[in-house]
Amino acid sequence: MTASSAEWVIRNSVDAAVEEFCARLEQRLTQARAAAGPLAVALTGGSTARAFYSGWAACYRDRRSAVWQPQALEFYWSDERIVPADDPDSNYRLARETLLEPAAIPAALIHRVPTEQPEPAARYADLIRERVPAGAVGRPQFPILILGMGADGHTASLFPHTDILLQDQALVRRAAGTPDHPHDRVTFTPALLNAAREVWFLISGATKADAVLAVYQRQASARQIPALVVDPSQTAVTYFVAGDAAARLPPRPSPR
Ligand code: 6PG
């Protein structure tokens, strides 16, 4: 399990990283066209995700290929703050404003976390079990699962030095917020993340450079750098790293 078994897409800017992201997503949609029904994708939150979603919405608008149909993808969330759906801190609201509404995605293909319900984590796990077909490991297998990464190495709402990193069989858990990351949350567990066919990390910002290097080297523990719970020997991992977030990586062929 080394960095080399993951793929690193390093670009000088977020725009250039978004361009490659869209090209790969278009490729997956083209490959999936024979399959029945929309491709399930799990979204995340954060400012990097926001930038990627705006570029993603343009793919539908510019109709760069026939695959960009509103019914091509079905949307879930790998983590959500337990706030109302129209709260400014809602990851659902972020995606609705930047991607889902601009791309006119049908409501039937949008499965937000029911944060207004009791036991939202258990309810969401039930919905995912019901709708997302299981993969070889017997857990729901998202074709593409999108994650961000914080400067502390957190991903989804798996924060450093917390017990939620325990490798248990639950698919979705409630996570306590932290002083830096307010609100209690609902998050996918490592078991569900690693059951995905592909995990795509979207990472930007100079403050991430140390955590990016730690993920590249894979020597720290997942308790220190939770993004390390995503295991390239279990799922196909691609790190889209933009700009200064890649500043500490070893020299590589010049990023475009
Ligand atoms: C959340 C996000 C979180 C985010 C990272 C990166 O709900 O807080 O899902 O995991 O993806 O914090 O966010 P930035 O890209 O804004 O640094």
The tokens for 252 are: 């590589």
Three-class DSSP category at 39:
strand
Residue 208 gets the label, from left (phi > 0), alpha (psi -120 to 50) or beta, of alpha
pLDDT tens readout for residues 12-57: 999 999 999 999 999 999 998 766 789 999 999 999 999 999 999 9
Residue 80 to residue 50: CA distance in whole angstroms: 14
Residue nearest to atom 13 of ligand 1 (CA): 46
Name the residue among 77, 75, 81 with its Cα closest to residue 100.
75
Ligand 1 within 6 A of 205 CB?
yes
Instruction: Map 223-251 to HEC letters.
Output: CCCHHHHCCCCCCEEEEEEEHHHHCCCCC
Mean pLDDT of 95-99: 98
> For residue 4, what are the contacts with CB-CB under 8 A and spacing of at least 6?
none
pLDDT averaged over every residue in the chain: 93
Residue 144 to residue 194: CA distance in whole angstroms: 11
Residue 188 to residue 41: CA distance in whole angstroms: 13
Mean pLDDT of 66-82: 95
Measured from the Cα of 47, ligand 1's closest atom is: 16
Three-class DSSP category at 199:
strand
Residue 244 to residue 182: CA distance in whole angstroms: 26
Residue nearest to atom 10 of ligand 1 (CA): 156
Mean pLDDT of 86-103: 98
Cα 136 vs. chain centroid, distance in angstroms?
A: 21
Ligand 1 within 6 A of 78 CB?
no
Which amino acid, residue 113? V
Which amino acid, residue 28? R
Residue nearest to atom 9 of ligand 1 (CA): 45
Residue 19 to residue 245: CA distance in whole angstroms: 17
Ligand 1 within 6 A of 207 CB?
no
Q: Which of 47, 52, 78, 79 is the best mutation target for the ligand 1 pocket, counting ligand atoms within 8 Å of the beta carbon and taking the most?
A: 79
Percent of the chain with pLDDT over 90: 85
Q: Which of 14, 18, 21, 44 is the best mutation target for the ligand 1 pocket, counting ligand atoms within 8 Å of the beta carbon and taking the most?
A: 44
Residue nearest to atom 11 of ligand 1 (CA): 148
Ligand 1 within 6 A of 141 CB?
no
Q: Which of 112, 149, 199, 202 is the best mutation target for the ligand 1 pocket, counting ligand atoms within 8 Å of the beta carbon and taking the most?
A: 149
Supply the pLDDT for residue 256.
62
Ligand 1 within 6 A of 90 CB?
no
pTM for this one? 0.95
The b/e string for 76-102 (b: 16+ C-beta within 10 A; e otherwise) is: bbbbbbbbeeeeeebbbbbbbebbbeb
Mean pLDDT of 164-187: 89
